[in-house]
Chains A and B, each alone.
Chain A
């Protein structure tokens, strides 16, 4: 899979601690349309697993978790 993702929406939650980035992602998700690709930037360790688990469990698509320079990016597609 290409690491080049083109999200419709980016949530920059770098510097925010657990569960901040996940909560911001859920907030953005609720306002998004089905088919939107949403990306969250985070520096918090817990979010990497938490966000991926939430995306799968909520019936959405996890596009990937990417290591970036000093942070990571979790990308999802809204399915429902």
Chain B
């Protein structure tokens, strides 16, 4: 049976979304099925037409401008495009949190097509129960 990795994205900062995406790609490279559950600030970044994300975690705030400039100069792919690539290559599913979607009145059509489904926490936990590893990013 294919091994599975579950990831939980709650933060909407670029450092965390990018780290999670890279780990998802690592899962794909290790032939794992990857289920990503996204909620709160992370989920806001999956909305269609979300504003350009320039948020970083608190401890990185002094370096934010510098790091975004470097990433732009070195043409680092946006994290969502990296996640799309991981999805193209492997078996990656992205699930939007039903609770937060309901709270803000967001429907599946409000999200980037990278989002496969809106699911509740119990369904995510049942996926995580069978996973080899689950990481909270």
* Interface residues, chain A, with chain B CB atoms under 8 Å away: 15-20, 22-24, 26-27, 30, 50, 54, 57-58
Partner of B29, one of A16, A22, A30: A22
Interface residues on B, range: 10 to 19
* Dominant secondary structure at the B interface: helix
Interface 9-mer from B58-66, B83-91, B122-130 = B83-91
A-B contact sample (4 more), CB < 8 A, given A20-B82, A27-B85, A54-B29? A17-B77, A19-B26, A23-B25, A24-B85
When the two chains form their complex, are residues B77 and A20 in contact, meaning their CB atoms are under 8 A apart? yes
* Interface residues, chain B, with chain A CB atoms under 8 Å away: 22, 25-26, 28-31, 74-77, 82, 85-86, 88-90
| Bound CA–CA A16/B77 (angstroms) | 8
Known contacts A18-B22, A19-B22, A50-B29, A26 near B77 by CB under 8 Å: no
| Bound CA–CA A57/B77 (angstroms) | 27
